[in-house]
Homo-oligomer: A and B are copies of this chain.
Amino acid sequence: MSTIKDVAKYTGLSMATISKYLNGGNVLEKNRAGISEAINLLGYHVNRNARSLKTNRTMTVGVVMPTLSIPFFGSVLSGLDKCLSAQGYTTFACSYDFDKGIELNKLRLLSNNNVDGIVLAPESLTPADLEGIRHAQGKDCPIILVDRTIPEFLCDSVVIDNLNATYGAVEQLIIAGHKRIGIIVGPLHISTAYERMIGYLRVQADYGMATDETQIKVGNGSADTELIKVGNYDFESGHRLFNLFMDMPNPPTALCVTNYDMTLGAITAAHERGIALGDDMGFVGFDAVDMCRIISPPLAVMEQPAELMGLRAGELLLRRMSGDAEGFPHLLRLKSILHTPIADTAKHDLYAPQSAMI
C-alpha cells in the first residue's frame, strides 16, 4: 500500500503539499495534475487511521437501536445514513435486542471507540447510565436520542409528537360518532407508549367523554383498564388484545392500535373474526401504511416519519459535531401523518411543537 511519502517522492513535492492537496488547500494547477496522476498510478488511498490519530476525528458515528428486525428502526437508520454519508461520515450500526446489558455495553463500546457522535434509541437506560458514558469519554462526543426520550436526562432528541398522534387519531373516531373507543398501547416505561396513552386520555377529556373508566394506574405494573390495554409492541400482543376487547360483554365500537406489529396483529384477528374494520368498527392503526391503503375497505393509519426522523437526527448531530451547541438540549418533534381512507392530510409541515405536552 502506498503512502503520502510515495506520492511526494513521485511528484518531487513534499508530504505537506500532498496533504494540502488531499484536504482541499491551495496547490498550483500543474502540481494538482501531477499529484492526481501519481495517486492514480500508485493506487494511493488515505489511511484513515493515521489521519484519525492525528486529527482526533474518526468521521464515524455510532447508532444504537433496540432492534433492526423491524422496518421502523431500519428506516430511521436509513435516513441517518443518507444524511451523514453525504457529509463523509460513515455509520456504525448495532442493536441490543431489547437487552439492557447489551444496550449499555454497546454504548460504552462505541464511546470508547472514538466515534464522533452517537445516535441512540434508548429503552432501559437511566440518566445515571448516560451520565456515566458522557463522563467517561474524553473529548465530548454528542449524543442524540431518537424516537424515545429519557425522563430527567438533558439531551438533544428527535421524536414523534406521540401525544398529538393519538389525539388526532382518536379525534377522528370521536367525530365519526364513536363513544366507546379502545386503545392498545406499548410498555409504558417507553416514552412513546406513555405519550400515546396520554393523547388518548386528553382528547376524550377535551370532548367531555371518558370518565373514570379510563383512569390509569401506572406504576403497579399494569395500566390496563377496560378501554386501555398494554401490549408489548409485537404482533402477538395486537392479536391477543384485539380478541380480548372483542370478548368483552360490551366491546368498544372503535379501536386505536399504536404501532406496526400490533396493528398487523389486530388486523389479522379482525379478519379471523370476520369483522370488517372501518365498516363494522372504527379503526386507526399505526405505521402499516401500504397495507392499510391497499386493504378493503382501506383503513385509517397514522404514519410515523421514520426516515425523516433519521434525517433530522443526522442534521442535528452534524451541527453538534461541528461544535455548534446552540439551543441545547434541543427537542424536535416530528408530526406524524394521518392517512384517512378519504384523503391524506397534507404531507408538508412535518414539524410539530407538541402543544399539549404534559
A/B interface sample: 8 pairs, CB < 8 A: A49-B50, A68-B78, A70-B74, A78-B97, A92-B93, A235-B294, A265-B294, A268-B291
Segment among A7-15, A108-116, A208-216, A316-324 that sits at the interface with chain B = A108-116
Please name all residues of chain B whose beta carbon is closer than 8 Å to the beta carbon of A235 when the two chains form the complex: 290-291, 294
Segment among A23-31, A40-48, A338-346 that sits at the interface with chain B = A40-48
Known contacts A239-B294, A272-B296; is-contact A78 B95 (Cβ 8 Å): yes
CB distance from A268 to the nearest CB of B (A): 5
Please name all residues of chain B whose beta carbon is closer than 8 Å to the beta carbon of A236 when the two chains form the complex: 290, 294
5 shortest A-B CB distances, which residue pairs? A1-B138, A68-B74, A93-B93, A49-B52, A272-B296
Q: How far is the CA of A46 from the CA of B74 in the complex (A)?
A: 31
Please name all residues of chain B whose beta carbon is closer than 8 Å to the beta carbon of A97 when the two chains form the complex: 78
Partner pick for A49 among B1, B53, B85, CB 8 A cutoff: B53
Determine whether A139 belongs to the interface, using a CB cutoff of 8 Å to chain B: yes
Determine whether A75 belongs to the interface, using a CB cutoff of 8 Å to chain B: yes
Q: Mark out the residues of chain A between 174 and 222 whose CB falls within 8 Å of any chain B CB in the assembled complex.
A: none
Contact A92 B95 (CB under 8 A): no
Determine whether A136 belongs to the interface, using a CB cutoff of 8 Å to chain B: yes
CB distance from A323 to the nearest CB of B (A): 18
Q: Mark out the residues of chain A between 87 and 101 whose CB falls within 8 Å of any chain B CB in the assembled complex.
A: 90-95, 97
Q: How far is the CA of A294 from the CA of B241 in the complex (A)?
A: 13
Please name all residues of chain B whose beta carbon is closer than 8 Å to the beta carbon of A250 when the two chains form the complex: none
Q: How far is the CA of A265 from the CA of B47 in the complex (A)?
A: 47
Determine whether A253 belongs to the interface, using a CB cutoff of 8 Å to chain B: no
Please name all residues of chain B whose beta carbon is closer than 8 Å to the beta carbon of A294 when the two chains form the complex: 235-236, 239, 265, 268-269
Contact B78 A74 (CB under 8 A): no
**Nearest CB to that of A65 among chain B residues?**
B74
CB distance from A109 to the nearest CB of B (A): 7
Contact B70 A95 (CB under 8 A): no
Interface centre among A69, A112, A236 (most CB of B within 10 A): A69
Please name all residues of chain B whose beta carbon is closer than 8 Å to the beta carbon of A136 when the two chains form the complex: 43, 45
Q: How far is the CA of A241 from the CA of B245 in the complex (A)?
A: 35
Q: Indicate with 1 or 0, residue by residue over A60-79, a CB within 8 angstroms of chain B CB atoms.
A: 10000001111101110110
Q: How far is the CA of A47 from the CA of B114 in the complex (A)?
A: 8
Q: How far is the CA of A81 from the CA of B69 in the complex (A)?
A: 13
**Nearest CB to that of A238 among chain B residues?**
B294
Contact A268 B239 (CB under 8 A): no
Q: How far is the CA of A295 from the CA of B290 in the complex (A)?
A: 19
